[in-house]
Amino acid sequence: MSWLAKYLTPDEFCDSIYDIDPYRLAGQGWKVVYLDIDNTLLPFGAERPTLKCQQWVMELRGAGLFPLILSNNRYPSRVEQVAQVFDIPAVCWALKPFPWALRAVQAEFGLRGKPSVLIGDQVLTDVILGKTQGFYTILVKPIRLDNKPSKALQFQFEQMLLRFFGVTQPAH
Ligand SMILES: [Mg+2]
């Protein structure tokens, strides 16, 4: 595997967040969970997380993990609205895969160096950030792409990249 493939390969592939058991993550010793919003927790444009999604985030907290949102969405109102429902901290316009916003929020909450998980749906933003930071990185399938042509195109491109670098999704 080339050095580049290492940064494109998530530690785990999941169909959705609901395949991720918060208690399993806690049992493995992880402490912090960085969450993407768009197409990971909610589809693009959806204003309120479903009850099921809220319960899953509550379970993260119940398991003793520290969840927070790290979103590249540029609209603070949307990100804050979602974060308020979950009652967890949130960073918008995070510029993933660059680590600047991550560093700021790590400093604010004393998270630097704590064993961390990053969950997102995009390779070029979420996975690269997670892998370059040494986080346990979980790639979920985008919730829906039919309402956002640019993201559908990016998804196709990312899939092509993964194939090119020989990154394969293990069967499970
Ligand atoms: Mg996303």
Distance 160 CA to ligand 1 centre (A): 18
Distance 167 CA to ligand 1 centre (A): 20
Q: Mean of the pLDDT values across residues 130-151?
A: 95
Cβ-proximal residues to 169 (8 Å cutoff; 6+ apart), any chain: 13
Distance 109 CA to ligand 1 centre (A): 23
Q: How far is residue 27's CA from residue 121's CA, in Å, rounded to a whole number?
A: 24
Q: Is the model more confident about 23 or about 168?
A: 23
Q: Which domains does the chain have, with CATH numbers?
A: 3-164 (3.40.50.1000)
Q: Mean of the pLDDT values across residues 137-161?
A: 93
Distance 121 CA to ligand 1 centre (A): 5
Q: How far is residue 111's CA from residue 135's CA, in Å, rounded to a whole number?
A: 12
CA distances (Å), origin 71, targets 1, 59, 94, 118, 147: 29, 20, 6, 11, 19
Could you tell me the pTM of the whole model? Answer: 0.95
Distance 7 CA to ligand 1 centre (A): 17
Q: Is the model more confident about 167 or about 97?
A: 97
For the chain, percent of residues with pLDDT exceeding 90: 83
pLDDT at 57: 97
- Band of residue 35 on the pLDDT scale cut at 50, 70, 90: very high
Spell out the SS3 assignment of 65-105. Answer: CEEEEECCCCCHHHHHHHHHHHCCCEECCCCCCCCHHHHHH
- pLDDT reading at 125 higher than 80: yes
Instruction: Tell me the residue length of the chain.
Output: 172
